[in-house]
Each structure stands twice: as C-alpha cells, then as structure tokens.
Amino acid sequence: MRLVLIGSLALAAYAVSPPFAAPSVAQTAAAPRSSVTTSDFRRLALMAEVFDFESSRLAIQRSRRPSVKRYASALTGNFRGYYTRLTSGAGVFADFPALPADPNAPIKPFVDERRVAMLNQLGAATGRGFDRLYMDMQLGVRQEVLGLYETYLRSGDDPALRAFARERLPVLEQQYQAARRLAGR
C-alpha cells in the first residue's frame, strides 16, 4: 500500500514538475492510473526497459563517476531477460523489435516521443551535467515504473505478468533507492 501511495504521488509530482529541465519532455508525462490493462502494462514496461537500456548505455560510455557507471551497468545487466519475459506470449505485439545478437548494440527504438526527447537530451549532455541529468531522469523514470508495476499488481489480469511484476517490484524499489542516493536525495 505504501508503494501504491508513493508511486501515485510520485507520478503526479513527476507529471507536474519533472526532476530534469525539459518542459517539452515533461508535458507528456503519464498521469497516475488506478488500473492498467495487460497490453498497456506490457507496452509501458517494455518502453521503460528500452529507455533504461539505452540511457544506461550512454551513462556507461559518458559518465565520469564510477558509481553512476556501476548503477547503469546494473540496469543493463538483466535487460534481455526482462525484455524476453515481457514479450513472451505477446503475439499481438509484433511491433516489438527483436533484440540484436550483440548485447551492446543499440535497440531499434521502441519508445514514445517523451522518452525519445529524454534520450536526445541526455545524448547532448556532457560532463557533470550528464551525470546530474541521467540521475534526475532515473529518479523520475523509477517513480513512474514503480507506480506502473504496483498498479498492474492490483488490476492486472495476466497471472504470469502479475507474477513477473511481483518479482520485479523489489528490484525496482532497490534501483529507486540507489538512484536517490546517487542523486543526493
């Protein structure tokens, strides 16, 4: 229940005032939901996973802070497994890109306009500004994803995806706490 409340409040706060300075990106942030369909959960969770992977690849290459690089590496570590679990049995989602054979290769974009803008903004950042922006984005994204997973646990109708969400939620909470520490919050 605590995570539901935190996730809902975080999503509401994120939609109004994101932790990074990009008004055009923030204006399209998702509003908190009381329920989420299986197809929406799968689509939103996949977009979050792809964003994590692509933004973290940038962080591994560009960050000057070893702690940020370790955090980014942890986010990319299980990406293929999570992606596979989210797409398994998703025959109606033929537009999900196949993963490239090279685990370090970029993924064909499967993100919304807001995440594309965030990735572009991050790609243009350098130095300490990059680290600060990456961690601010991670805080916002972690809050969104926590709310999404909590909502699906309450309202989802696919037992396998609910089990996945239940299993993944503690990891997402740990990632959020790590992002808070790294961002100094």
Are 143 and 172 within 8 A, CB to CB?
no
- Model confidence over 149-175: pLDDT tens digits? 999 999 998 888 888 889 889 989 998
Counting other chains too, the contacts that 158-165 makes at CB distance below 8 Å and 24 or more residues apart are 158/38, 160/89, 161/38, 161/41, 161/42, 161/86, 164/85, 164/86, 165/41
- Model confidence over 30-87: pLDDT tens digits? 445 588 888 888 888 888 888 888 899 899 999 999 999 999 988 888 777 777 767 7
Residue 108, pLDDT > 80, answer no
Mean pLDDT across the stretch 15-34?
41
Query: DSSP per residue over 148-160, as a string?
Result: HHHHHHHH---HH
Are 26 and 18 within 8 A, CB to CB?
yes
Mean pLDDT across the stretch 120-147?
92
Structural domain boundaries, residue 153: 2-183
**Closest by Cα among 30, 60, 59 to 145:** 30
Output 93 or 165, whichever has higher pLDDT. Answer: 165
Q: DSSP strand E in the chain: where?
A: none
Output 107 or 42, whichever has higher pLDDT. Answer: 42
**Closest by Cα among 54, 59, 49 to 168:** 49
Count how many domains the chain has. 1
Residue 95, pLDDT > 80, answer no
pLDDT of residue 100: 56
Q: Is 127 left (phi over 0), alpha (psi -120 to 50) or beta?
A: left
CATH number of the domain bearing residue 91: 1.20.1260.10
The number of residues making up the chain comes to 185
Please, which pLDDT band fits residue 8 given cuts at 50, 70 and 90? very low
d(CA 78, CA 49): 10
d(CA 11, CA 150): 12
**Closest by Cα among 130, 124, 121, 145 to 68:** 130
